[in-house]
Amino acid sequence: MSWRTLLIQQKCHLSKKNGQLFCKRDDGVVSVPIEDITIIILETPQATITSSLLAELQEQNVVLITCNGKHMPNGMLLPLLPHSRVSEVAFLQNQWSSPFRKRCWQKIVKAKINNQARSLEISGRKSVSTLRQMARRVQSGDPKNREAQAAREYWSSLMGDGFVRGATDFANNALNYGYMVLRAVVARSLVSYGLLPCFGLHHDNNLNAFNLADDILEPFRPMVDQAVMNILKSGGIKDDLSRDIRQEMALLAVQQVRINDEVQTITNAADVTAYSLVNAIRDKDAALLKLPDFVI
């Protein structure tokens, strides 16, 4: 079972031999078993990689994330795995009904708001009971848009009244970095179980190839929020994301959460969610969808 996240931040040459990833740098060579790797994040433009390694990463279901000049993730390479039931799952996914999708979205929004409440509780903030009440009021399809109402209450309480989600400050950049890492983790799991990430339960942007990944990502987002809050509390605020902070955010994939009454890493939890979604689609029962809870 893979568990490593590799953050490539220095000039190097990446290749493979005998099931190992070799990273050749000016100061020597480091090797890692490819079967241990979940994600590779290429931050430096000075890294080169062989085509044979790229192919092997896809065979081993490793996600490769590229970054722009500001070290922010801007793309990912996912494997086209020969899933034994890919045609069946794709057909079922294409045929899922509107009521089913709405019930799944209801569960996702409830889980997200409850995890936001837990994030506030961990940070010693107010509005915990307010968010939990909002979560209980979420209806099928969230027609009252409780998600947006909870978000306004949540960000104001967590970050303060002056915080604006979507700005270009340190906190937003750190959040975006963490979200992109977990988005890749979720997309990897969906593809692993034969799901097509472009067909979403709620998100349906024709220009977005990862609508379903963005749906499933929602309950995981508060884990990123809490990691950023920990950085802010420790005085790690800077104009740009430092190398150490990016390394910390890249390790979110191995943070523990609770899912299906078990403590799992986020990577494993994403697998559980993807597998449960396939079962939910087959049985046309949204109650089978398993989503993560904070474990701390």
In tens digits, the chain (296 residues) has pLDDT values of: 678 999 999 999 999 999 999 999 999 999 999 999 999 999 999 999 999 999 999 999 899 999 998 888 999 998 776 555 677 888 889 899 999 999 999 999 999 999 999 999 999 999 999 999 999 999 999 999 999 999 999 999 999 988 999 898 899 999 999 999 999 999 999 998 989 999 999 999 998 999 999 999 999 999 999 999 989 888 756 667 888 889 989 999 999 999 999 999 999 999 999 999 999 999 999 999 999 998 76
Could you tell me which of 182, 192, 184, 3 has the C-alpha nearest to residue 80?
192
Give every CB contact of residue 218 below 8 A, 6+ residues apart in sequence: 108, 109, 111, 112, 147
Strands of the sheet containing 12-17, edge to edge, are 28-33, 20-25, 12-17, 47-49
Q: Which of 114, 78, 75, 84 is nearest to 223 (CA)?
A: 114
Spell out the domains of the chain, with CATH numbers in brackets.
Answer: 4-77 (3.100.10.20), 88-294 (1.20.120.920)
Sign of the alpha-carbon torsion through 108, 114, 117, 123? negative
pTM, two decimal places: 0.91
Q: Exposed/middle/buried for 48, CB within 10 Å: 0-12, 13-18, 19+?
A: exposed
